[in-house]
Each structure stands twice: as structure tokens, then as C-alpha cells.
Amino acid sequence: MTDMNDAPEVENSDVPEVDFAEELLARDKEIVDLKDRLLRQAAETENVRRRLERDKADTAAYAMTGFARDLLAVADNLQRAVAALPSEGFDNVRAGIEATGRELVAIFGRHGIARVETAGLKLDPNRHQAMLEVDHDSLEPGAIVDELQAGYVIKDRLLRPALVSVAKSK
């Protein structure tokens, strides 16, 4: 049996001395940094997923916006047709046009399209567009006097602002 003390000595001058404590601290810091990056990436991925879900829902809800805007011209023309009819006669024509207008409004309602309210309100630049100012004794400045053209929203988005006249300041 050989004695361990008899083993040849190895010179350690070429082998760098390793500080295991520093190496362990460096590895721990790297692990913490990697965990932080992983958590940030996971949060970013979740944010992107939520944004895509929201965009998908918006696309589905507002896909018909262009088509709805085009149909607003039809609703306007039906109102003009009724207004253009003479007060006497044409009762059947008037009834037919009014029935068509009511049906169009009902279809709008089923698809989340609603008329912008104007009666008795103050001008809301997010929903109304002031086309002219008129003198009015009983209304305060900025109050809507008359609706020139109906405005519409689809769900919570404006399709077309209501064109209105407003009372001007004196």
C-alpha cells in the first residue's frame, strides 16, 4: 500500500486560484437577471395577447362601420323624401317611405347603431358639429337650437357627428 504522503507533488503555479464565493455570487446574479428577463418577457407576451384579443373584439364589433356610414345616406334620403312630399295627397307614398325609414332604424338598432341625441343639449364637440350660430333669446350660448343632419354612433364610436345650429353669445 502506498502512502499518500509519497504521492508526487503537483506544482500549482500554472493553475489559477478560483474564488468560489465570487463565482457563486456571479452565478446568483446571472440567475436573478435571467429570471427578471424571463418575467418581463412573460409579462410582455401577456400584454400582446390581451391587446390582440381586444383588437380582435374591436374588429368584430366595428367591421361594418364603412357599410353603416354608407347606409346613413339612405336614411337621410328617406327623411328628405318625406319632407319633400306635398302636405296633401301622396298619403300611401308617405306611409311607405316612413315604414321603410322605421325598418332601417330598427335594423340600425339591432346592429348597435343609434342616433346622436341633440334635443335640449349643449354642444358636445365629440358628438356634434356646429354648422352655424343663431340668435336665440331663450337658450344659453352653446345650446343646440336645431339639428340640420342626424348624427350616429355605432356602439360607443362616432359614425357621423350631428350637424347642428347653436345659440350664439350676445
- pLDDT tens string 50-108: 999 999 988 887 888 989 999 999 999 999 999 999 988 899 999 999 999 999 999 99
Q: Residue 62's pLDDT is what?
A: 84
Q: Does domain 65-167 have CATH number 3.40.228.10?
A: no
Q: Give yes or no for a contact between 69 and 159, defined as CB atoms under 8 angstroms apart.
A: yes
What are the C-alpha distances in Å from 167 to residues 32, 53, 133, 164?
Answer: 66, 44, 6, 10
* C-alpha closest to that of 69 among 111, 125, 6, 14: 111
Give the C-alpha separation, 70 to 64, whole Å. 10
Q: Which residues are paired to 154 by β-bridges?
A: 113, 157
pLDDT tens for each residue of 99-145: 999 999 999 999 999 999 998 899 999 999 999 999 988 889 999 99
pTM for the model stands at 0.67
Sequence spans of domains, the chain: 19-63, 65-167
